[in-house]
Amino acid sequence: MKEYNVAVLGASGVVGQQMISVLEEYRIPVKTLLPLASARSAGRTIFFNGKEITIKEAKEDSFEGMDFVLGAVEAAEAKVFAPHITKAGAVFIDNSSAFRMTDDVPLVVPEINGEDAFKNKGIIANPNCSTIITLMAVAAINNISPIRNMIASTYQAVSGAGIGGLRELEEENKALSRGEKPQPKVFPTQIAENVIPYISSYTDNLYTAEEMKMQNEGRKIMHLPNLTVSCTCVRVPVMRSHSISVVLRTERKVSIEEAKKAISAFPGCKLAENIEGRDYPTPLDTSDGDIVMVGRVRDDLTDPNGLALWCCGDQIRKGAASNAVQILKLLIEK
């Protein structure tokens, strides 16, 4: 079996660490793993396949000899390193927003548009976490009849803000238990015992950039250039796994039975028909896994061609790290 040299850019962060774990879990044939991070994190060690490996500082010449680079850094850093990665001959699978809407960069969810990955010119983009989870839930329905529009509300875990978000919720819960007033730093206001209907920054149409990703990325991934989406993104006091409420309208009526059968058969999805006596998933049901769970499938009462559903998926895994590794796996298998 051929083995590959794989670098993880941003190896010290939550997503980077998860990428390394998934590489091992998926038994990707890695010859050499090169964990890269900032100078501040260089020198730390990680374990991979039973071996201790030292994280090195990411530099322009770090990518020589690599076959693949998994990116888990912010968009600005991804843009800096991307030319050096492609120049070295590696394929850059980038989790940031840097190249998602670039015309000649495939934006890929393997179960939905895996064939697009083979059209890459050295860079493949990983979609936004909520976009991945939502589209995984609705793709089977779109295969029956194209989706015209969606109304979505996301309930996003603090893990979406990285390690700082996780720590902030933990610290605020501890402060409240001591009778103290939390002092938010990562989020614009207290997240413990609260919800915040604002993620990212406002755009000209008063939707946030995070909210617009559902429409813009959804069009590209599902090859639906006329898709319209009205989305509200909400941060909730959940550690990991995002939840999304979706109302979708298709070109022709798709029955509840058709939708459930299609969702059940779709790779990477599970229809929640009986989880401890309930027909809906919760964030805890999907945490630490790659399956997107879907429940509460019902008719939309405002449009005869509409359906409503609820879905949950792990933001760190399927919403980020696992999707990137699945893209890599797809490339080496075919």
CATH assignment of the domain containing 101:
3.40.50.720
Secondary structure (DSSP) of 88-102:
TT-EEEE-SSTTTT-
Per-residue pLDDT at 142:
98
Tell me, yes or no, whether 154 and 227 share the same domain. yes
Tell me, yes or no, whether 237 and 253 share the same domain. yes
Write down the residue that tokens 């020589």 correspond to.
64
Contact (CB, 8 A) for 309 and 296: yes
Q: For every residue of the chain, which 3-state class applies, written as one string? A: CCCEEEEEECCCCHHHHHHHHHHHHCCCCEEEEEEEECCCCCCCEEEECCEEEECEECCCCCCCCCCEEEECCCHHHHHHHHHHHHHCCCEEEECCCCCCCCCCCCECCHHHHHHHHHHCCCEEECCCHHHHHHHHHHHHHHHHCCEEEEEEEEEECHHHHCHHHHHHHHHHHHHHHCCCCCCCCCCCCCCCCCCECCCCCECCCCCEHHHHHHHHHHHHHHCCCCCEEEEEEEECCCCCCEEEEEEEEECCCCCHHHHHHHHHHCCCEEECCCECCECCCCHHHHCCCCCEEEEEEEECCCCCCEEEEEEEECCCHHHHHHHHHHHHHHHHHC
Tell me, yes or no, whether 146 and 90 share the same domain. no
16: confidence class by pLDDT, cuts 50, 70, 90: very high
275: confidence class by pLDDT, cuts 50, 70, 90: confident
Q: pLDDT tens, 282-320?
A: 999 999 999 999 999 999 999 999 999 999 999 999 999
Q: pLDDT tens, 79-122?
A: 999 999 999 999 999 999 999 999 999 999 999 999 999 999 99
Tell me, yes or no, whether 220 and 242 share the same domain. yes
Q: pLDDT tens, 179-233?
A: 999 999 999 999 999 999 999 999 999 999 999 999 999 999 999 999 999 999 9
Between the alpha carbon of residue 163 and those of residues 148, 186, 208, 237, 244, the distances in Å are 37, 10, 22, 14, 22
Distance between CA 162 and CA 304 in Å, rounded? 40
CATH assignment of the domain containing 151:
3.30.360.10
223 catalytic residue (yes or no): no
274: confidence class by pLDDT, cuts 50, 70, 90: confident
Per-residue pLDDT at 276:
85
Per-residue pLDDT at 277:
86
Tell me, yes or no, whether 123 and 90 share the same domain. yes
Per-residue pLDDT at 314:
98
Q: pLDDT tens, 143-174?
A: 999 999 999 999 999 999 989 999 999 999 99
Tell me, yes or no, whether 325 and 262 share the same domain. no
The total number of residues written for the chain in this structure: 334
Per-residue pLDDT at 273:
86
Per-residue pLDDT at 14:
93
Count of domains in the chain? 2
Tell me, yes or no, whether 122 and 149 share the same domain. no
In terms of residue numbers, what domain contains 150? 131-315
Q: Which of 84, 129, 231, 233 is labelled catalytic?
A: 129
Phi-psi region of 308 (alpha: psi -120 to 50; beta: other; left: phi over 0): beta
Per-residue pLDDT at 193:
97
Tell me, yes or no, whether 136 and 277 share the same domain. yes
Q: pLDDT tens, 17-42?
A: 999 999 999 999 999 999 999 999 99
Q: Which of 84, 231, 233, 242 is labelled catalytic?
A: 242
124: confidence class by pLDDT, cuts 50, 70, 90: very high
